[in-house]
Amino acid sequence: MQAPGPGDALLVVDVQNDFLPGGALGLRGGDAVVAPANRMLAAWRKHGLPVFLSRDWHPDGHCSFAAQGGPWPVHCVAGTRGAEFAAALVTAPDDVVISKATRADKDAYSALDGTPLAAELRARGVGRLFIAGLATDYCVRATGRDARAAGLDVVVLTDAVCAVDVQPGDGERALHELAAAGCELSTTAATLRAMEAPA
């Protein structure tokens, strides 16, 4: 791996209370992504590289909710505790927060779908996006694919993502799909080694 530096950004996808164990749509083991994500966040800030945090930020009655005919329970309603970032996730004032799926009539798994993320990345001269967060088989997969389609190089940090696995193996299949789309699969440890290696 080429060591992260200027032109690289980190995106932490949807590490929100409702997606953690005990949340409205909690992922088994979802909280395990927080520690590796925090290690990446600390390294990114140390090197002065841009950090983005995406979040589901749904209005009441969002089309993804079961009561509206969608596949999911009510989750991540804007302004509620469930929509807040996990308390253990170390955020900072300079982080750019990207809210997605904010329209009642349109769902969006990708952090680039209907958001200013692509424009924000271009404005900062970002050519490679490192992705951590939730969930591997939905929002991480969609974000990685859209980032590749937008011409970005993408690195998915496999120890800092977690899957819903509605069907067993969905998460692994999503990683294979991302690799087939041209994403690099790596780990936080390998990335940190590359960052700290002597020039």
183 catalytic? Reply is no
Instruction: Give the C-alpha separation, 10 to 156, whole Å.
Output: 10
Of 31, 56, 100, 162, catalytic: 100
Of the listed 8, 14, 95, 146, which one is catalytic? 14
Give yes or no for a contact between 51 and 98, defined as CB atoms under 8 angstroms apart. no
DSSP 65: B
Residue 167's CB is within 10 A of a number of other CB atoms, namely: 9
In angstroms, the CA 189 to CA 177 distance is 23
- Architecture of the domain spanning 8-196: 3-Layer(aba) Sandwich (3.40)
pLDDT in tens, 34-72: 999 999 999 999 999 999 999 999 999 999 999 999 999
Decide if 18 is catalytic: no
User: pLDDT, tens digit, for every residue of 95-144?
Assistant: 999 999 999 999 999 999 999 999 999 999 999 999 999 999 999 999 99
- Global pTM? 0.97
Comparing C-alpha atoms, which of 71, 86, 83 is closest to residue 34? 86
Active site residue 139: yes
pLDDT score of 184:
98
Angle between helices 141-149 and 170-180 (to 10 degrees): 10
Count other C-beta atoms under 10 Å from residue 102's C-beta.
Answer: 16
